[in-house]
Amino acid sequence: MKQFFILITAIALLVLTPISRCDDEIVLNETDLKRFIGRIDDDSKALNGRSVWLDPLIAGSPPVTLKEGQYTFYLYARCLVPVASTEPVCRISIIQTEPETVLFYRDVIRGELGDGQTYALVEWPFEIQETVAVRFDVDMKQMGNATFFLDSIGYKDAETDTLTRWNHADTRHYLGVSVEDTNSIDGMVRTNAHALAYGPYISLSKPGQYEAVFRMAVAPDFSAENIATLDVFSHEGLHNGHKGNKTYAIRGASISDFDEPDTFAELTLPFHYDGADGMEFRVLLYHVKRNAVRLDRITVRPLSAN
C-alpha cells in the first residue's frame, strides 16, 4: 500500500507540474508564461507547434447584427500616452464577421482624448447599407504600460437612440489587464501593458551561473531597429534575508539579432542566480504591430553551480 501511495503521488506531481524539466534545465513553453500583449496560436515553425504572437487588440465586442441605417461608434477612454496631439493612439474598427472583412476603421489621435485626467468620449458616425453581423474592435497603436485606460466601447442606433455598451468584462482582448479606476463608469477598466511574456515566478534548483535562451522570430515586414528588452528578474525574491526586487541580467533585442525573417533565432542572456524565489523571464516590447514578433519558448539552463 505504501508503494502504491508513493506511485500515485509521483504521477500526480508529474501531471500537475506545468513546466518541463530536463535535469536542471527548465523549458518555459507558451502556456507556462504569462502575457500582457499576445495570443497563443498555431505556429508551424515553433518546436511544439504553438507560440505567443504579438497582438494589439485591447477590446473586441461580441458579434451583433445591424440592419440598414445610421449608427455611431462609441469609445470612452482616458489617455496618458506621451505622444504629440496629432499622433494616433488606438484604432477603432467595424468588422463584418462572415466573411471577416473590415468595413470601416479610423485612428483615434491623442488630441481627441484630452489631458488624461478625466475620461473622454470619442464618437464616430457610420452607415450600414444592408443587414450584416459585425463586431467592434479597438487596437492599440502606441506601446506603453498603464498609459491608456479603456472604460468601454459600444454603438448608438440613430433610429432608436439606444446605446449598446460593453465594458472590460464584456470584451475579449489580447493586450492589457483589468484594473480599478474610481473615475470610470463601472469602477474597473482595461489598461495597456507591454509584456509579451513574463513570469512564471519560480525558483531554480541551486545557486550558480545560468543562461536564459529566448527563442523568437520577427515578421518579414517588420524592420524596427529596437524590438524588445529581455531580462531576468525576481519579484518579491529573497535577497539577504529580506524581500525585494532585483534585475539579474538585461539586454535589448534588435533586428540585427535575426538573420532571417520568419525564422526563429535564439537570444541568450547569461546571469548568476543567488537562490531567490519569484524568478521571471520577460520580453518587454516597444511596438504593437500585429504578428510582428513571436515567442516560441524560453529555456533556462545551468552553466555551473556554486
Dist. CA 190–CA 77, nearest whole Å: 9
Q: What angle do CA 26, 253, 233 make, to 5 degrees?
A: 45
Dist. CA 220–CA 143, nearest whole Å: 20
| CA 106 from centroid of its chain's CA atoms | 22
Dist. CA 106–CA 84, nearest whole Å: 18
Dist. CA 202–CA 216, nearest whole Å: 22
Domains of the chain: 20-55+195-305 (2.60.120.260), 57-173 (2.60.120)
Average pLDDT, stretch 44-68?
97
- Asked if residue 216 lies in contact with residue 229, where contact means CB atoms within 8 angstroms, the answer is no
C-alpha distance from residue 274 to each of 32, 134, 269, 291, 300 (Å): 23, 53, 16, 36, 15
Residues in the chain: 306
Note the pLDDT tens digit of each residue in 218-274.
999 888 889 999 999 997 655 555 556 889 999 999 999 999 999 999 999 999 998
Note the pLDDT tens digit of each residue in 157-215.
999 999 999 999 999 999 999 999 999 999 999 999 999 999 999 989 899 999 999 99
Q: How confident is the model at residue 13 (pLDDT cuts 50, 70, 90)?
A: very low
Note the pLDDT tens digit of each residue in 73-115.
999 999 999 999 999 999 999 999 999 999 999 999 999 999 9
Is 62's pLDDT higher than 90? yes
H runs (alpha helix) in the chain: 2-16
C-alpha distance from residue 126 to each of 134, 218, 272 (Å): 13, 36, 57
Is 141's pLDDT higher than 50? yes
The pTM (predicted TM-score) of the whole model is: 0.87
Note the pLDDT tens digit of each residue in 288-305.
999 999 999 999 999 976
Residues of the chain with pLDDT > 90, as a percent, come to 82
* Amino acid residing at 230: L
**Eight-state DSSP code of residue 111:** G
**Average pLDDT over the chain, rounded to an integer:** 89
Q: How confident is the model at residue 287 (pLDDT cuts 50, 70, 90)?
A: very high
